[in-house]
C-alpha cells in the first residue's frame, strides 16, 4: 500500500544521490572520444518473446561488427523505469520513446537531437512527429496504424463505409468493441473531418460540428467497452468472440497469433465517413539520452538497427511496420494480412500532444467511457476536452 509513496521517495533519493555525478559534467563526458569497444545500455519495452528475441539477435549482430557491446534491458514499466533512470542522472544510452512522451522528454532536456545526423529515410509524417521546434530529435524505429479487425466467421463482407458499418453492427448482439480512449475514438472524428487540436498544437478544437458528428455516430453504433465484456483489452474481447469487430492497431497481428491462434479474422481499412477515410498512426523512436557518454557509438547502433536488413528483421512476427517507405513492399511480402495497416499509412495522422497533456487525455478518456456507457453526450465529452486542454495550453 505504501508502494506508490515509496516509489516516489526512492526516485527523489536516487535523483539526489545521482545528481552530483551525472549532471555536473555532461560536457566533459560527451567530449570524450567514443572508445572502440565501448558498452551501450539500451532500455526497451517488449510485446513478448518474439520482440525480445528479435532485439537480442539485432544486438548480437551489431556486436559481431566489433564496434561495441550492447547491454539490453527489457522494461516491465518503461515510463517508470525511464523516469527513475533519467532522474538519477545515469540513463541508458538508447531507449524507446513512444510519440506521446517525446515532447515531455524534450522539455526536460533529456533527449539528444540526433535525427538529422543519422540521415535515415523515414515517412515524412513520422519524422515530423519527432520534430520539436524545428529540431529532429530521434529516429522512429517503426510504426503502427489503426484498422478494423473483423471476425470473418461472424461477418461475411467487411464494411467499407459508415452506412455499411452501422448495418453490420445491427446484425450482432455486440457488433463493435472499442477501448474507451481518445486515441481510438478520434478516428470517427477524423472520418467526419475533425480533430481535437490545431496542427500547431496551440488550440483545442474539441467542440466542433465535425467532432460531434463523429462521436454521435459512434454512439449510434452501440459499441461496448472491453471491460463491459469482461476482457482486459479490446483484442481479448474480439479474440474470445464477444464482439464481431474491433478497432486496434498492428499489434493485433502478433497478439491474435499468440493468444487466439484458431481465430478466423481479417484486418480491413477503417470504414470511410462523410469526410473520407481517417486513421491514427502510432510510432516509437530510438531516443538518445542527452546525458549519454557514448553518443557516437549510440548513433552507430541506431544506423545499424535502421539498416534495411535489420529493420525487416526487427519488424517480423509481432506487428509494427518499418519506418522506411522503400521497405513497404518487401515487408508486405512477409505479411500479406497486414495490407490494411500499411494502406492506412497513406492518410494516417499521428496524434501529437504538447508537453504535459497526459492529464487532459486521462480526463477525456473518462468522459469517453461515460459516452460509451450512455451517461454522457458527445458535446459533453468535447467540452470537457476543451476545458481540460485550456488549462494546459495557456
Partner 1 sequence: MTGSAVPGDPGMAASPEAGRGRSPAAGGGKSPVSGRGKGRARGPGIRGREGLWGWLFMAPALVILGLFMVIPILLALWVSFRSWSGLESPFGPGSQPVGLDNYAELLVEPGLAQRDFARGLRNNLYYVLGVVPVQTAIAFFLALVLHQKVLRARGFFRSAFYFPSITSSVAVALVFMAIFQPNGVLNRTLEFFGLDGSVWLDDPRGLVHIVLGWFGVSEAPGFLQGRFMGLSWWDWLSGPSVTLTAIMAIAVWTTIGTFMLMFLAGLQNLPRDVDEAAVVDGANRWQLFWRITLPQMRPTLFLVLTLGIIGTWQVFDQIFVISDGGPQKTSLTPAYLVYVFGFETRQMGLACAVAFLLFLVIVLFTLLQRRLLRER
Residue 43 lies near partner 1 (rule: CB under 8 A): no
Does 360 contact partner 1 by CB under 8 A? yes
Pairing of strands 131-132, 321-322: unpaired
* Phi/psi of residue 340, nearest 5 degrees: -60, -40
8 binds partner 1 (CB under 8 A): yes
* 183 touching partner 1, by CB under 8 A: no
Q: Is 28 in the site for partner 1 (CB under 8 A)?
A: no
12 touches partner 1 by CB under 8 A: yes
- In the complex with partner 1, the residue whose CB is nearer, 142 or 369, is 369
What span, in angstroms and rounded, lies between the C-alpha atoms of 241 and 235? 10
Q: At what angle do helices 209-221 and 378-393 cross, to 10 degrees?
A: 130
Q: Where are the beta strands (DSSP E) in the chain?
A: 38-45, 68-75, 94-98, 131-132, 135-136, 139-151, 176-177, 245-249, 265-268, 281-288, 321-322
Q: How many amino acids of this chain bind partner 1 (CB under 8 A)?
A: 48
Tell me which of 25, 60, 71, 107 binds partner 1, using CB under 8 A. 107
Least distance in angstroms from the C-beta of 20 to partner 1: 8
- Residue where the block lists cell 467532432: 211
| Nearest CA among 78, 80, 134, 81 for reference residue 106 | 134
Q: Which long-range contacts (C-beta less than 8 Å, at least 24 apart) are formed by 14-22?
A: 14/84, 14/87, 14/88, 15/87, 15/88, 15/89, 17/88, 18/87, 18/88, 18/89, 18/90, 19/88, 19/89, 20/89, 21/89, 21/90, 22/88, 22/89, 22/90, 22/291
Q: Exposed/middle/buried for 11, CB within 10 Å: 0-12, 13-18, 19+? A: middle
Closer residue to partner 1 (CB): 8 or 35: 8
Q: Which is nearer to partner 1, 1 or 28 (CB)?
A: 1
Residues 6 or more apart whose CB falls under 8 angstroms from that of 340 comprise 147, 148, 267, 268, 269
Q: Per CB under 8 A, which of residues 108..147 are in contact with partner 1?
A: 108-110
State which of residues 4, 28, 31, 64 lies at the interface with partner 1 (CB under 8 A). 4
Q: Binders of partner 1 among 60-99, rule CB under 8 A?
A: 79-80, 83, 86-87, 89
Contact 118, 303 (CB under 8 A): yes
| Nearest CB to partner 1, comparing residues 227 and 328 | 227
**Interface mask (CB under 8 A) for partner 1, residues 311-350, using x and -?**
----------------------------------------
* Binding of residue 181 to partner 1 (CB under 8 A): no
Selected binder of partner 1 within 370, 377, 380, 393 (CB under 8 A): 370
Per-residue mark of binding to partner 1, 263-282 (x: CB under 8 A): --------------------
- Give min distance, CB of 375 to partner 1, in A: 8
Q: Compare residues 15 and 50 and give the one whose CB is closer to partner 1.
A: 15
Judged by CB under 8 A, the residue of 44, 94, 105, 299 near partner 1 is 105
Query: Measured from the CB atom, is 153 or 373 closer to partner 1?
Result: 373
Q: What is 322-356 written as a DSSP string?
A: ESSGGGHHHHHHH-GGGHHHHHHTTT-B-----TT
For the record, the C-alpha cell of 301 comes out as 547502433
**Residues of this chain, 218-247, that bind partner 1 according to CB under 8 A:** 225, 227-230
Q: Rule CB under 8 A: which residues touch partner 1?
A: 1-5, 7-13, 15-16, 18-19, 22-23, 79-80, 83, 86-87, 89, 104-105, 107-110, 225, 227-230, 356, 358-360, 362-363, 366, 369-370, 373, 375, 388, 391
Amino acid at each position: 500500500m505504501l508502494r506508490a509513496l515509496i516509489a516516489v521517495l526512492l526516485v527523489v533519493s536516487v535523483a539526489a544521490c545521482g545528481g552530483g555525478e551525472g549532471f555536473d559534467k555532461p560536457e566533459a563526458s560527451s567530449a570524450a572520444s567514443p572508445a572502440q569497444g565501448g558498452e551501450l545500455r539500451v532500455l526497451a519495452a517488449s510485446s513478448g518473446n518474439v520482440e525480445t528475441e528479435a532485439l537480442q539477435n539485432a544486438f548480437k549482430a551489431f556486436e559481431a561488427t566489433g564496434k561495441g557491446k550492447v547491454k539490453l534491458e527489457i522494461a516491465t514499466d518503461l515510463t517508470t523505469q525511464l523516469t527513475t533512470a533519467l532522474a538519477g542522472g545515469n540513463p541508458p544510452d538508447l531507449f524507446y520513446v513512444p510519440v506521446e512522451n517525446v515532447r515531455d522528454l524534450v522539455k526536460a532536456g533529456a533527449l539528444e537531437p540526433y535525427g538529422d545526423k543519422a540521415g535515415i529515410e523515414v515517412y515524412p509524417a513520422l519524422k515530423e512527429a519527432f520534430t520539436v521546434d524545428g529540431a529532429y530529435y530521434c529516429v522512429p524505429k517503426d510504426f503502427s496504424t489503426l484498422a478494423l479487425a473483423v471476425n470473418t466467421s461472424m461477418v461475411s463482407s467487411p464494411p467499407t463505409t459508415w452506412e455499411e458499418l452501422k448495418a453490420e453492427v445491427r446484425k450482432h448482439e455486440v457488433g463493435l468493441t472499442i477501448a474507451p480512449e481518445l486515441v481510438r475514438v478520434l478516428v470517427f472524428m477524423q472520418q467526419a473531418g475533425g480533430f481535437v487540436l490545431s496542427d500547431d498544437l496551440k488550440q483545442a478544437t474539441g467542440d466542433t460540428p465535425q467532432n460531434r458528428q463523429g462521436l454521435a455516430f459512434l454512439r449510434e453504433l452501440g459499441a461496448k467497452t472491453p471491460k463491459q465484456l469482461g476482457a482486459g483489452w479490446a483484442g481479448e474481447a474480439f479474440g474470445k468472440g464477444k464482439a464481431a469487430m474491433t478497432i486496434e492497431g498492428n499489434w493485433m497481428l502478433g497478439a491474435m497469433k499468440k493468444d487466439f491462434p484458431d481465430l478466423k479474422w481479417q484486418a480491413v481499412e477503417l470504414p470511410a465517413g462523410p469526410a473520407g477515410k481517417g486513421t491514427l498512426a502510432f510510432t516509437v523512436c530510438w531516443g538518445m539520452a542527452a546525458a549519454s557518454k557514448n553518443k557516437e557509438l549510440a548513433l552507430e547502433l541506431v544506423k545499424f538497427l535502421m539498416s534495411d536488413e535489420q529493420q525487416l528483421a526487427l519488424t517480423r512476427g509481432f506487428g509494427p511496420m518499418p519506418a522506411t517507405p522503400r521497405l513497404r513492399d518487401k515487408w508486405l511480402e512477409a505479411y500479406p494480412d497486414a495490407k490494411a495497416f500499411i494502406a492506412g499509412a497513406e492518410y494516417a495522422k499521428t496524434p501529437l500532444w504538447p508537453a504535459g497533456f497526459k492529464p487532459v487525455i486521462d480526463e477525456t478518456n473518462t468522459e469517453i467511457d461515460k459516452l460509451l456507457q450512455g451517461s454522457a453526450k458527445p458535446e459533453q465529452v468535447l467540452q470537457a476536452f476543451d476545458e481540460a486542454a485550456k488549462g494546459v495550453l495557456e
